[in-house]
Amino acid sequence: MFGSGFVNQETPMAVEQARIHIIPKPWGRTDLRPWNVYHDPQAAIGEAWFERADPSAPAPTLLLKLIFTDEPLSIQVHPDEALARTIGLVHGKYEAWYVLSATADARVAVGLKQQLSSAQLRACIRDGTIAECVQWHPVRAGDCTFVPPGTIHAIGAGLVIVEIQQRTDATFRLFDYGRRRELHIDMAVAAASARQCERHTCPRKLTASRTLLVASPHFVLERMTLAPGVVRELSAAAETWLFILAGAARVDSIEAEAGNAVFLESEPARIEVGANRLQCLVAYARSAPAPYLLRRMNGMRVPDPAGGASRIPVPIGSAPVSHAVRAEETP
């Protein structure tokens, strides 16, 4: 149901190729290619967690993982900070999803079709009609969805998703498609926000290379695009995760390609793009976009034809509602 929260007590300098930890799930896949080499017809894998290279290193505050679905996940909700502390956790759980691939009928659920009282929500969980109350919408590769705590949500079948979240296992199930796993009715009702409506927002161009996808109180998620052969310095003042979507690059001494992740903390890293255009996700522990995340190797910040640091937008994920943003073509 839920576990302990994790807090990073130290901030040592680090640039590491992430270690992968695969986790079986009843709704998972037996073949994770091309995003992971795993394939075994005897075991369905639902998640691949990216971890620090050294298992004894201080745990990050954020968790980056891949989600592979052949069946829908449970309908669930996460607690906010206040509720989390009452049950012994350090913090609640904000999360965001970025779609890597999707079948033609793939969909996710975020929020409810209409507002329900606590009593109505409890009754819907008990009789299973909550499955008819959630607001489903189709998704495609490149879409991003923000899920604040208190938002009832679900991920459907036919998806591969990158998820960035606060590092805690605080999840309360409302419906599980007959899998006979425990439902957490009392905690789910307590965690569910009174506001379950859905609100959309578009990606925001920060610079020619950077597009803001989500800014929450605990992390920022960006998509970054760099031309072939470009060399830049990524300023990872805070805990930072880099996930390669397409292309390849050398990150300091690490060779990274599509499906790989790099962990950085308190250390600038040289990024040298390979022969093809690089697209990657960058997630870092801040509540607003970093003004000088990317620099030229001479220490100068990259020119910003999109508007400059003075026009960095305010966080788009600070309210307790969901934000889904559509895929955007990047030159």
Task: For 182-230, write each residue's pLDDT tens digit.
Answer: 999 999 999 998 777 655 557 999 999 999 999 999 999 999 999 999 9
- 111 and 177 inside one domain: yes
Q: What's the half-sphere exposure (Cβ side, CA atoms, 13 Å) at 331?
A: 4
Identify whether the C-beta of residue 142 lies closer than 8 Å to the C-beta of residue 91: no
Asked whether residue 3 is assigned to any structural domain, the reply reads no
Both tokens of 247, joined, read: 């292309």
For residues 193 and 208, membership in a common domain is answered with: no
Q: How far apart are CA 23 and CA 12, in angstroms?
A: 28
Question: Could you read off the pLDDT of 38-64 as tens digits, one per residue?
Answer: 988 899 999 999 999 999 999 999 999
Total number of domains constituting the chain: 2
Residue where one domain finishes, among candidates 199, 225, 247: 199
Type of residue at 233: E
Per the CB < 8 A criterion, the answer to whether 166 and 219 are in contact is yes
| Mean pLDDT, residues 250-272 taken together | 95
Specify whether 42 is located in the same domain as 71: yes
Residue 245 C-alpha from the chain's centroid: 14
pLDDT at 108 over 50: yes
The tokens describing 118, both together, are 């606590």
Residue 4 confidence class, pLDDT cut points 50, 70, 90: very low
- For residue 243, the tally of other CB atoms under 10 A from its CB is 25
Cα–Cα dist 141/165, whole Å: 19
Residue 208 shares a structural domain with residue 294: yes
Of 167, 199, 231, the residue that ends a domain is 199
Q: Does pLDDT of 7 surpass 70?
A: no
Amino acid present at 257 = E
User: Is there a domain that residue 58 lies in?
Assistant: yes
Residue 106: is it exposed, middle or buried by C-beta count within 10 angstroms (0-12/13-18/19+)? buried
**With bands split at pLDDT 50, 70 and 90, how would you rate the model's confidence at 302?**
low
Residues of the chain with pLDDT > 90: what percent?
Answer: 76
Q: Which residue has the tokens 């890293």?
A: 269
pLDDT of residue 154: 96
Q: Establish if 129 belongs to a structural domain.
A: yes
Residue 1 maps to a domain: no
Q: What is the mean pLDDT of residues 233-251?
A: 96
**Enclosing domain of residue 38:** 14-199
Q: For residue 136, is pLDDT > 70? A: yes
156: amino acid identity, one letter: G
Measuring CA to CA, which residue among 264, 211, 266 is closest to residue 241? 264
Residue 229 pLDDT: 96
Tell me which DSSP letter residue 120 carries: H
pLDDT of residue 169: 81
Can you give the pLDDT at residue 190?
A: 96
Question: In this predicted structure, what is the pLDDT of residue 201?
Answer: 57
Task: CATH number of the domain at 237, please.
Answer: 2.60.120.10
- What distance, in Å, lies between the first and last C-alpha atoms of the chain? 43
